[in-house]
């Protein structure tokens, strides 16, 4: 066989094989989004179980802090972890079949499907008190047993707080949630 022909055939075979070996990034992203929304997926626990049981404590004096750096320090929360925590706590109560929680920069929206063993106002009270106990007090909490709102909340799961295009959707969901019991006031 001609060496040039052999080299060209080998090169074509390598390019073809390597081209077919690439993964589909869109599928990977889709699967990653599905994994993020999978309630069976446990949040990663600390590497050392002892760290999970330790108390949190810090102490600083004014002299120890660089005030210029401290002025630029931002306090943040992981909204997905907060939504996950709220949802899991609510589902531990009897009477709840499905719960969807969305945490924005100002609100917590909780839509749930309950069974007939629990009154609407009691279920709303449990859901609202759970969110209030987990979140900082400046968050407004809205709840509803309208299970159609579960899909509406789900539609916002990829939104960001910097994209204000979703404000109208949030406002319409809140307006709909206010038609439901908000718990024992």
Domain holding 121: CATH number?
3.30.70.1350
What's the confidence (pLDDT) of residue 128? 96
Sites in the chain below the pLDDT cut of 70: 1-7, 11, 13-52, 66-72, 185
Give the 3-state secondary structure of residue 11. Answer: helix
Exposure string for 135-150, b = 16+ CB within 10 A, e = fewer: beeebebbbbbbeebb
- The reply to whether 38 falls in a domain is no
What's the confidence (pLDDT) of residue 160? 81
Give the 3-state secondary structure of residue 97. Answer: strand
Q: What are the tens digits of pLDDT across the range 145-176?
A: 998 999 999 988 888 877 777 888 899 999 99
Radius of gyration of the chain (CA): 25
What's the confidence (pLDDT) of residue 94? 92
What secondary structure letter does DSSP report for 94? T
Distance from chain centroid for Cα 61: 36
Provide the number of structural domains found in the chain: 1
What's the confidence (pLDDT) of residue 84? 95
- The reply to whether 125 falls in a domain is yes
What's the confidence (pLDDT) of residue 35? 59
- The reply to whether 34 falls in a domain is no
- The reply to whether 164 falls in a domain is yes
What's the confidence (pLDDT) of residue 85? 95
What's the confidence (pLDDT) of residue 70? 63
- The reply to whether 113 falls in a domain is yes
- The reply to whether 97 falls in a domain is yes
What's the confidence (pLDDT) of residue 80? 92
What's the confidence (pLDDT) of residue 18? 61
Q: What are phi and psi of 107, to 5 degrees?
A: -130, 160
Shortest CA distance to 97 belongs to which of 147, 134, 143, 152? 147
Residue 21, both tokens: 């070996």
- The reply to whether 7 falls in a domain is no
Domain containing residue 138: 79-177
- The reply to whether 84 falls in a domain is yes
């Amino acid at each position: 066989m001609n060496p040039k022909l052999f080299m060209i055939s080998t090169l074509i075979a390598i390019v073809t094989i390597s081209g077919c070996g690439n993964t589909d990034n869109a599928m990977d992203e889709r699967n990653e989004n599905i994994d993020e929304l999978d309630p069976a997926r446990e949040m990663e626990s600390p590497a050392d179980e002892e760290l999970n049981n330790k108390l949190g404590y810090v102490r600083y004096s004014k002299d120890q802090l660089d005030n210029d750096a401290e002025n630029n320090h931002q306090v943040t929360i992981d909204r997905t972890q907060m939504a996950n925590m709220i949802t899991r706590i609510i589902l531990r109560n009897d009477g709840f079949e499905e719960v969807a929680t969305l945490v924005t920069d100002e609100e917590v929206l909780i839509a749930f499907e309950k069974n007939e063993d629990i009154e609407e106002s009691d279920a709303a009270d449990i859901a609202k008190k759970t969110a209030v106990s987990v979140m900082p007090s400046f968050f407004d909490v809205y709840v509803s047993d309208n299970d159609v709102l579960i899909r509406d909340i789900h539609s916002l799961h990829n939104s960001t707080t910097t994209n204000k295009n979703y404000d109208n959707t949030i406002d319409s969901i809140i307006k709909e949630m206010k038609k439901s019991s908000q718990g024992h006031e």
